[in-house]
Chains A and B, each alone.
Chain A
Amino acid sequence: MADTIAPTNPADASAPRQADVRTEEMLVNMGPQHPSTHGVLRVVLRTDGEMVLESVPHIGYLHRCAEKIGENVAPYQYVPYTDRMDYLAGMNNNQAFALAVEKLTGLEVPERAQYIRVMFAELNRIASHLVAIGTYGLDMGAFTPFLYCFREREMLLDLFESACGARLTYSYITVGGVTDDLPDNFVDVCSEFLDYFEPKVDDYNNLLSYNHIFVKRTGGVGVISAEDAIRFGLTGPVLRGSGVKFDLRKAKPYEIYDRFNFDVPVGLPGGTGEIPRGVVVGDCWSRYYVRVKEMIESVKIIRQCLRDIPAADEKEGVCHKKCKTVKLPDDEVYLEIENPRGQLGFYVKGDGSAIPARVKARGPSFCNLCVLEYAGKNCLLADIPAIIGSMDVVMGEVDR
């Protein structure tokens, strides 16, 4: 891999200005076993002292043929494999695949199940963002917010466990609904958790978001302009951090998202309102802060869900009766939903049998990672973890 990178000309206009004392360029392998590449990502850095001139991501260390498996099992059997793609947001992945198959087959989902799906998708969004925020602090050297985030995430996992019995790979949202109905006191416990959780976001802000060192480390680093973000096809918090107000839940509401009232947070320039000075739209701090804000919006959605959710109906249940026997028509469908990391799309093609002819996923992490080569250029070595962390990639989904 080393010889694929051409040496730069010192007179190159893109070369950093500070490098008066030019040293020998060095190729450094960051990963696949590196603490802050969030999995088995390998980034080859061409460095000049502490300056990074070029960073090239290399992927594929976690390839498990997840899409090919989809062509050999029935959709309801494939749902557990979607958990393993983005293992931090299993619920959202289940939901995306289930929605795609339902659109293809025309299965009707009971209304209570739809509320449960939205609720768990949002709870999982909070859990996923908690990991993203916590590990981002860890990348910056702040260990403590990480454990605070995990403390709250533990409670979320307890909620998931009470509903479906699993704590990481849920397979709860399935084709035609959800596997089980909620436990009896779930609404009370969940609202108790939300009451507990909402003020904790202020704690994270005080500890990490507005911390002077943290702002200095992330503000103005790895800036991606709105045009570039769209040009690279970025989605999710990475796109919204660049100031583009685009969220599939608002723009193209799927499921029952059109019934809820919530905002879409975007990156704002520093000095306005609560945004500290030194922050630029589209930098690492903006991407990070969009996630913090999204957690509050998710809490709003879950509260509305808990308020509006219809009572359990014994006759209808929470899952379509034919969810395991349904045949896929000879047709194709592509459907995207808003995953915590961006737009997760599933392409499913049927051929009249119970097993899909083709399954293909569009992973948000994979598409967001491609901007690393652009953003991680001419920065300091310490900025690379900051940039990778602000992308919040999950390698399981990048490599699939």
Chain B
Amino acid sequence: MTLRLKKILLLMTPLAIALSFATAPVQAADTDLSLSDQGIQTSADGGLLEALMFYACAGVTLACGFAICLSKNIVRMAVYLFGTLAAVALMYFLLLANFIGVIQLIVYAGGTLILLIFGVMLTSKSPWAKFEVKRSELIAAGIVCALFAGMLLFVVVNAEWPLETDAVVVGSSMTQFGTGLLTDYLVPFEAISVLLLVVMIGAAYMARQE
């Protein structure tokens, strides 16, 4: 990765932000204020402030995403990843999906990311490892990414985006969430539980002393 390419990509970041400014949908502004009395946070009317926040979060996400690709230092990458995850969590908060946002923080930022850094520090050749990319790897990754980006673009262009939805939140989202998990979505929930159990048994098996 040459310095020139790095500069071009860094220049593209504000461009991408500007692009997302131009194309992002405008949020519907009719949330129910009485919900705030029940302890359910509603957004500030979806006005300019929210739009600004959305673009800021999107910008941080994109910038950190590019930075992950451009950085050669593994721990720095992890920190940029933290930025991406946190900004996405903030976006969830803006969309009134508090629970998902918090879970994003607690599971990815607080758990997985730490394990990631921990693993890097524990197993790499030295804690100060550099991440070198070969040219062939770069080309292969570029092709895959281009295909993926094309697919996403295709979906974005062709899909219909219904701007008007029903009431955003009714009642406590947590109660609905819990009830949903144990009624309509019981089978996937149990399947994930079994998967985690298997993972735990496997980990215990690997960690046990001979």
Contact = CB atoms under 8 A, between A and B. Distances in A.
Interface of A: 17-18, 20-21, 23-24, 26, 49
A18 B126 contact: no
A24 B124 contact: yes
A17 B125 contact: no
Interface of B: 122-126, 206-207, 209
B121 to A, nearest CB: 9
A17 B123 contact: no
Contacts of B209: 17-18, 20
Nearest to B206: A20
A24 B207 contact: no
10 contacts: A17-B209, A20-B206, A20-B207, A20-B209, A21-B122, A21-B123, A23-B123, A24-B123, A24-B124, A49-B122
Contacts of A49: 122
A87 B124 CA distance: 46
A23 B122 contact: yes
A26 B122 CA distance: 11
Contacts of B125: 24
Contacts of A20: 206-207, 209
Nearest to B119: A21
Nearest to B124: A24
Given A20-B206, A24-B124, A24-B125, 12 more contacts: A17-B209, A18-B209, A20-B207, A20-B209, A21-B122, A21-B123, A23-B122, A23-B123, A24-B123, A24-B126, A26-B126, A49-B122
B177 to A, nearest CB: 37
B106 to A, nearest CB: 26
B138 to A, nearest CB: 27
List 3 tightest A-B contacts by C-beta distance, closest first.
Answer: A23-B122, A24-B125, A23-B123
A172 to B, nearest CB: 53
A20 B122 CA distance: 13
A286 to B, nearest CB: 28
A120 to B, nearest CB: 52
Contacts of A17: 209
Contacts of A26: 126
Contacts of B126: 24, 26
Contacts of A23: 122-123
B185 to A, nearest CB: 36
Contacts of A24: 123-126
B205 to A, nearest CB: 12
A49 B125 CA distance: 12
A341 B207 CA distance: 43
A23 B126 CA distance: 9
A148 B126 CA distance: 43
Contacts of B207: 20
A279 B98 CA distance: 53
Nearest to A23: B122
Contacts of B124: 24
B193 to A, nearest CB: 27
Nearest to B208: A20
B28 to A, nearest CB: 52
A24 B207 CA distance: 19
Contacts of B123: 21, 23-24
A17 B206 CA distance: 14
B118 to A, nearest CB: 11
Q: Quick one: which of A20, A21, A24, A49 has the most chain B CB within 10 A?
A: A24
B116 to A, nearest CB: 15
A142 to B, nearest CB: 29
Contacts of B206: 20
A21 B124 CA distance: 12
Q: Quick one: which of A18, A20, A26, A49 has the most chain B CB within 10 A?
A: A20
A26 B206 CA distance: 25
A26 B126 CA distance: 8
B26 to A, nearest CB: 52
